[in-house]
């Protein structure tokens, strides 16, 4: 992508370390603690070797091979993430409507799980960092939850200011974090260098075959070592594949391996350190600075996820699964830096609820794994559809490539189901509620579209009738926003009925969003002349584009249609939805859709229309 060419490989790699790997980098705070703290694994040297080996090969198979080698290849015009892959897979099976519908449901649920993950990640990350104070002194225990909430409030409160100012420190701070956890690991490995033999897969296999039931039970905690791995794919569009791969293989993977093996060496020497193996690695004089650094690292990890929530929400809105929301740009240089107040404070409220309900990172760990594993499963399934139906690779080759990863993901997912009633229900509940809103909005829009089609008049026929006895023509240009191409907009009917005038130039503009991230500028516009200085215009946007109708229409100058911003008026229909008993959805869903429609942000703001040139005319539609 062009933006990648503007920055050096080193700068992009540094940025990737700060944004992409903050989440997985802070998993060292709690992953090992949860495995041994569960009480299922006895403290023997063989078991410690076995667990470390399982950690290493879990990181290798799920992150290094699945995400880095396979999933990163499935980019949608350079963009990654579940929304981009869903759009890619959807286009690959567009000629199979039943399959496409089912796949969309699965993919949308995966996207909804991202919000569940977005609640758990900041809560468990910051809480686990602040819990380091308990190692400094048990007296600090009562301050852990209040301090966590204060830190999270500060993080969410600064979102409206944007992160461009402090964002440049994310990479360096995270590099310091990875250097610190590597140094701690090396320090303890030096006392037990033989622990490095745990890298051999035979230790993992021996543990699995001698303790199959225990292995299955602890996989729900082992998966915590790869939480955040999906960010490799989600942030591909920001940094490119090469910087993400370099950062993983040369910085992140070695640092994580050294630290986990260091924690293992510590447990060989001091089994009592299992209460908090990460912070017990540090000498007393280093504890307070380490808690500070860990808190900074977890805040950065949380920031990346919050920014991701804003970005995903904007994409989902443009794909038609959520109503328009107020989107504020926090940077004049980087259009990707946005702030959505509703998402920001909604996330904060649910995160505080999670912290208050679960009270510790160990309790939150039970809620964490199931969302991550379900997302990983869905990513694997969507990858199959992309490489088989989209890239046309042979069926059996695609099945072989993805079924291995599906089996691995499924085993982790099944293990996490055991924690469903301990906390796993929480992110699933969040995802289910959001999915209910998304599907209600999608189905409501479809019903509304059909209703408009039923009531619509053909534009060409209507204009022919109007110009048989034309109304008074006034100077300027009228831009009528239409929901469908070739239909008479309600705003025009109301304008003719009440004002009895027609502008000298009339543009009937239909905005279409597509399942690709970006639309090239030379493909942005379609224009066709209707006659009598009237034009039908279609504006195309991808789900990552920023809609800007005046900016797009400015390109019409020189194409036979001259537009002056000073003499252009934009006419919009503002529909009021009236639920009926005989509608196409359950009554409660119709009422919910009507409320969502009422509370959607202004179409004028969403399309970047100048506020002093907009005329909104209302109408009622029964569904």
pLDDT tens across 66-118, in order? 998 888 888 877 778 888 888 888 888 888 888 888 888 998 999 999 898 88
Q: What's 518-585 look like in SS3?
A: CCCHHHCEEEEEEECCEEEEEEEEECCCCCCHHHHHHHHCCCCCCCCHHHEEEEEEEEEEECCCCCCC
Domain span at 234 = 24-425
Q: Distance (Å, rounded) from C-alpha 347 to C-alpha 460?
A: 48
DSSP annotation of 394 reads: -
Same domain, 362 and 475: no
Same domain, 211 and 321: yes
Find the helix packing angle between 284-318 and 9-19, rounded to 10°.
100
Any domain includes 15 = no
- pLDDT for 307: 84
Same domain, 86 and 203: yes
Q: Distance (Å, rounded) from C-alpha 179 to C-alpha 110?
A: 34
Any domain includes 315 = yes
pLDDT tens digits, 259-296: 999 999 999 999 888 888 999 999 999 999 999 999 99
Same domain, 228 and 356: yes
Same domain, 169 and 69: yes
- Asked if the model's pLDDT at residue 6 lies above 50, the reply is no
Same domain, 399 and 520: no
Q: Distance (Å, rounded) from C-alpha 350 to C-alpha 615?
A: 38
Same domain, 569 and 507: yes
Least confident of 3-12, 156-165, 302-311, 606-615: 3-12
Question: Of 425, 444, 475, which one is at a domain's C-terminal end?
Answer: 425
- pLDDT for 583: 67
- Specify the number of domains making up the chain: 2
Res. 334 pLDDT band, cuts 50 70 90: low
- pLDDT for 573: 84
Query: Residues with Cβ < 8 Å from 380, sequence gap 6 or more?
Result: 66, 402, 405, 406, 409
- pLDDT for 94: 84
Any domain includes 540 = yes
Q: Count CB atoms within 10 A of the CB of residue 411.
A: 15
- Asked if the model's pLDDT at residue 370 lies above 80, the reply is yes
According to DSSP, the residues that pair with 501 across neighbouring strands are 472
pLDDT tens digits, 141-196: 889 999 999 999 999 998 887 766 666 788 899 999 999 999 999 999 999 999 99
Q: In this structure, what CATH number is given to the domain that contains residue 278?
A: 1.20.1740.10
Name which residue leads in pLDDT, 603 or 162: 603
Mean pLDDT score, 462-485: 89
**In the structure, how many helices (H) and strands (E) does the chain have?**
28, 8
Mean pLDDT score, 396-420: 92
Any domain includes 150 = yes
Res. 349 pLDDT band, cuts 50 70 90: very high
Query: Residues with Cβ < 8 Å from 408, sequence gap 6 or more?
Result: 61, 62, 66
Same domain, 405 and 460: no
Any domain includes 444 = no
Q: Distance (Å, rounded) from C-alpha 608 to C-alpha 549?
A: 7
Strands 338-339 and 328-329: antiparallel
Same domain, 414 and 473: no
Question: Of 425, 441, 474, which one is at a domain's C-terminal end?
Answer: 425
Same domain, 178 and 73: yes
Least confident of 31-35, 337-341, 425-429, 476-480: 337-341
**pTM, rounded to two decimals:** 0.86
Please, what is the average pLDDT of the chain? 88
């Amino acid at each position: 992508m062009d933006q990648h060419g503007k920055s050096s490989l080193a700068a992009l790699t540094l940025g990737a370390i700060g944004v992409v790997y903050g989440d997985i980098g802070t998993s060292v705070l709690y992953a090992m603690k949860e495995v041994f703290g569960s009480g299922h694994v006895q403290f023997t040297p063989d078991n410690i070797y076995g667990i470390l080996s399982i950690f290493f090969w879990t990181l290798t198979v799920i992150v290094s091979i699945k995400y880095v080698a396979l999933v990163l290849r499935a980019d949608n015009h350079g963009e990654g993430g579940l929304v981009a892959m869903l759009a890619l897979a959807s286009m690959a099976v567009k000629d199979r409507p039943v399959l496409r519908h089912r796949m969309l449901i699965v993919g949308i649920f995966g996207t909804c799980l991202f919000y569940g993950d977005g609640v758990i990640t900041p809560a468990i990350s910051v809480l686990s960092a602040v819990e380091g104070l308990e190692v400094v002194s048990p007296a600090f225990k009562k301050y852990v939850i209040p301090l966590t909430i204060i830190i999270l409030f500060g993080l969410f409160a600064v979102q409206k200011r944007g992160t461009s100012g402090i964002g440049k420190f994310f990479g360096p701070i995270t590099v310091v974090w990875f250097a610190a956890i590597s140094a701690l690991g090396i320090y303890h490995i030096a006392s037990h260098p033989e622990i490095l033999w745990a890298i051999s897969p035979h230790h993992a296999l021996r543990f699995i075959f001698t303790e199959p039931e225990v292995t299955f039970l602890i996989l729900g905690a082992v998966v915590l070592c790869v939480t955040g791995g999906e960010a490799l794919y989600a942030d591909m569009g920001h940094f490119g594949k090469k910087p993400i791969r370099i950062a993983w293989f040369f910085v992140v993977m070695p640092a994580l391996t050294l630290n986990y093996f260091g924690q293992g060496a510590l447990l060989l020497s001091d089994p009592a350190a299992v209460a908090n193996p990460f912070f017990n690695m540090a000498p007393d004089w280093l504890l307070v600075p380490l808690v500070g650094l860990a808190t900074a690292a977890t805040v950065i990890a949380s920031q990346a996820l919050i920014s991701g929530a804003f970005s995903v929400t904007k994409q989902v809105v443009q794909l038609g699964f959520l109503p328009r929301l107020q989107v504020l740009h926090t940077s004049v240089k980087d259009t990707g830096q946005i702030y959505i107040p509703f998402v920001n404070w909604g996330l904060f409220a649910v995160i505080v609820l999670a912290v208050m309900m679960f009270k510790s990172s160990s309790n939150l760990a039970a809620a964490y794994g199931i969302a991550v594993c379900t997302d990983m499963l869905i990513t694997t399934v969507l990858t199959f559809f992309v490489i088989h139906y989209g890239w046309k690779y042979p069926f059996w080759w695609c099945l072989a490539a993805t079924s291995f990863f599906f089996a691995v993901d499924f085993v982790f997912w099944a293990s996490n189901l055991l924690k469903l009633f301990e906390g796993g229900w929480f992110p699933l509940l969040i995802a289910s509620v959001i999915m209910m809103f998304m599907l209600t909005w999608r189905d409501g829009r479809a019903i509304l579209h059909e209703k408009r089609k039923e009531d619509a008049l053909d534009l060409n026929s209507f204009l022919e009738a109007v110009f048989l006895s034309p109304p008074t023509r006034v100077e300027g240009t009228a831009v009528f926003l239409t929901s469908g191409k070739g239909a008479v907009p309600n705003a025009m009917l109301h304008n003719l009925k009440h004002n009895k005038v027609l502008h000298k130039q009339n543009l009937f503009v239909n905005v279409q969003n597509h399942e690709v991230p970006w639309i090239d500028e030379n493909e942005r516009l379609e224009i066709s002349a209707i006659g009598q200085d009237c034009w039908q215009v279609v504006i195309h946007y991808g789900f990552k584009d920023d809609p800007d109708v005046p900016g797009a229409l400015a390109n019409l100058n020189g194409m036979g249609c001259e537009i002056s911003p000073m003499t252009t008026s934009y006419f919009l229909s503002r529909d009021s939805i009236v639920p009926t008993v005989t509608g196409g959805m359950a009554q409660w869903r119709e009422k919910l859709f009507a409320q969502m429609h009422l509370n959607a942000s202004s179409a004028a703001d969403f399309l970047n229309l100048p506020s002093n040139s907009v005329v909104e005319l209302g109408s009622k539609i029964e569904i």
